[in-house]
Structure formats: structure tokens, C-alpha cells
């Protein structure tokens, strides 16, 4: 092998080494960018989930308040209907139901 061939081989080896270093640098840079992008996606997803959770809680609270209000209105309506019942009618109703509950001798 001549001196020229050895010099050419060493030159090519140097170029390959430089390319390898450049590729490693580019790979490292790309990895850093991907990590940053993923970190940003995770942050955005956490914000979205937090907002969705807050909205779900608000919706559940509103629904519970509406159900509670409806139950109170229904109870108030029942109370009103019972308050306007005639005492004689109410007494007959109670006696009729008591006769089914009490033993024969206590009626």
C-alpha cells in the first residue's frame, strides 16, 4: 500500500468520524426537541383534563342542586295537599289503614 492510499484512507476515516459526530449531534438535538414537544403536549393535556374536571364538577353540582330543588318543591306540594285535606276525610283514611294493621280485638 502506498503513502497516497494510506493518506486517502485516513482522510476518508476522518470524514466518516466528522459525519458520525454531526449525526450524533443532530440526533441529540432532535431528541431534545421531541422531549420539549412531548412535555408541551403533556402540559396541554393536563390543562385540558383539569378544565374538563372543573366543568364536570360544576355540571354535577348544578344537576344536584336542580334535583334537590325539585325534591323540595314536590315535598312542599305534598305538604300543601295534606294541609288542605278535610279532618273528617283524614280521620276515615287513618281508621281504614289502622283496621288493616291492628289485631281484631283492638279495632
Give pLDDT tens digits for 6-63. 888 999 999 999 999 999 999 999 999 999 999 999 999 999 999 999 999 999 999 9
Q: What is the structure's pLDDT at 30? A: 97
DSSP for the chain reads --HHHHHHHHHHHHHHHHHHHHHHHHHHHHHHHHHHHHHHHHHHHHHHHHHHHHHHHHHHHHHHHHHHHHHHHHHHHHHHHHHTS-HHHHHHHHHHHHHHHS-GGG-
- pLDDT above 60 for 78: yes
Sequence ranges of the domains in the chain:
3-106
What is the pLDDT averaged over residues 66-95?
A: 92
pTM recorded for the entire structure: 0.54
| Residue 96 pLDDT > 60 | yes
Amino acid at each position: 500500500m502506498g503513502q497516497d492510499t494510506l493518506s486517502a484512507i485516513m482522510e476518508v476515516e476522518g470524514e466518516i468520524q466528522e459525519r458520525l459526530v454531526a449525526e450524533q449531534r443532530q440526533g441529540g438535538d432532535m431528541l431534545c426537541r421531541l422531549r420539549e414537544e412531548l412535555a408541551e403536549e403533556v402540559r396541554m393535556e393536563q390543562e385540558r383534563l383539569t378544565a374538563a374536571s372543573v366543568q364536570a364538577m360544576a355540571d354535577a353540582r348544578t344537576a344536584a342542586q336542580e334535583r334537590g330543588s325539585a325534591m323540595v318543591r314536590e315535598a312542599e306540594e305534598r305538604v300543601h295537599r295534606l294541609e288542605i285535606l278535610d279532618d273528617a276525610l283524614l280521620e276515615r283514611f287513618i281508621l281504614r289503614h289502622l283496621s288493616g294493621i291492628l289485631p281484631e280485638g283492638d279495632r
